[in-house]
Structure 1
Amino acid sequence: MIGLFKVKEKQREQAQNASRGGGGGGASVKKHSAGELRLHKDISELNLPSSCTISFPNGKDDLMNFEVSIKPDDGYYHNGTFAFTFQVSPVYPHEAPKVKCKTKVYHPNIDLEGNVCLNILREDWKPVLNINTVIYGLFHLFTEPNSEDPLNHDAAQVLRDNPKLFETNVRRAMTGGYVGQTFFPRCI
């Protein structure tokens, strides 16, 4: 375990040195961190469902920041479109990517600020996991929301106590409307 911490620390130092542009004159060749190399491999091997797309708003030179769009084809969130931002650390895969939902959504596992409650982005992250796994995890949150591990406790309670009302609330939110005092922009 101590060896892993040393590896992480060394990777952080290398990433910091690379971002400072430490070097000795002449033509500069951009060095890629181990995290960038692994991420490039992960992206080249993506096997996404047809309802998920990935885009690079900063261009292909910035693989560490990208967006994923998920359009569930089943479940409560059928036909909605949900956008997520991914920020990947230079020490990836030793650290999980930071994922935020850009779409305001009525969901037990996504709060109104876009924070996502997905175990593999927290305590269950392991370096053997990859971006494909995270995207499938996010997709799964829309096909089977988890009321047992909520960020939005109100939505989770409604899902547990009254699934029909939960479905009505999801539809109201997705078509652009209020659920309680909160307005949700249209995402269908």
Structure 2
Amino acid sequence: MLKIWSMKQKQQQDEAATAGSKKKKVTAAQLRVQKDLADLSLGSTMKLSFPNPDDIMNFNFTIEPDEGIYKGGKFLFDFKINQNFPHEPPKVKCTQTLYHPNIDIEGNVCLNVLREDWKPVLNLNAVMVGLQFLFLEPNASDPLNKEAAEDLKINREGFKRNVRAAMGGGTVKGRTYDRVLK
């Protein structure tokens, strides 16, 4: 709360110092994002980066699972938050081509808190933990990549082999994937 207050005070001071020139106001969405970012509890397997340090509404998120099928990979996500946040969820895309039942080849992510289960009381931490969970426990019952989901359902060992091949930049079922191994 103190950060929000100090951000508002700085804005008022800037407005007083530059009276006459137009200065952008801090929006409710920006204040909420600032609070969510301040409250984050990222473990050692997750990192944030800001391509533009002045823009907290657009940032990158990296997951490096230390267990599970996707262990040893480095997965990058692009977060875009619009001015209707928290009434609308952030837009999240994976920037790599992955072999994953819940992430399609365009980078779209199938995660319930990014769709029908989003509520304004949820925060960015809930989304990030949900993304991390997708790498620990891929969900074959709610897929975007139906081939990967079928593999996971029918032949878990074959699915694991396909994931390893894809993570290494290999080809699975005629499609070449990005190398994501660290």
* Alignment correspondent of 2:16: none
Unmatched 5+ residue regions in structure 1? 1-24
- Pair 1:120 & 2:113 matched: yes
The partner residue of 2:76 within 75, 83, 89 is: 83
Name the amino acid aligned to 1:93: P
Q: How many corresponding residue pairs?
A: 163
The partner residue of 1:74 within 45, 53, 67 is: 67
Report the TM-score when normalising by structure 1: 0.85
- Pair 1:170 & 2:160 matched: no
Report the TM-score when normalising by structure 2: 0.88
2: CA distance, partners of 1:78 / 1:89:
32
2: CA distance, partners of 1:50 / 1:103:
21
1:107 CA drift (Å): 0.1
1:28 CA drift (Å): 3.0
- Residues 99-136 of structure 1 show CA distances to partners (whole Å, capped at 9, x for unaligned) of 00001110000000000000000000000101111000
* Alignment correspondent of 2:14: none
* Alignment correspondent of 1:136: 129
1: CA distance, partners of 2:162 / 2:23:
53
* Alignment correspondent of 2:43: 49
1: CA distance, partners of 2:89 / 2:24:
24
- Pair 1:40 & 2:39 matched: no
- Pair 1:180 & 2:179 matched: no
State how 1:137-152 maps to structure 2 within 5 Å: 137-152=130-145
Unmatched 5+ residue regions in structure 2? 1-18
SS where residue 166 of structure 2 aligns?
Answer: helix
SS where residue 116 of structure 2 aligns?
Answer: coil
Sequence identity, in percent?
53
SS where residue 147 of structure 1 aligns?
Answer: coil
Stretches of 4+ aligned residues off by more than 6 angstroms = none
CA-based RMSD: 0.9
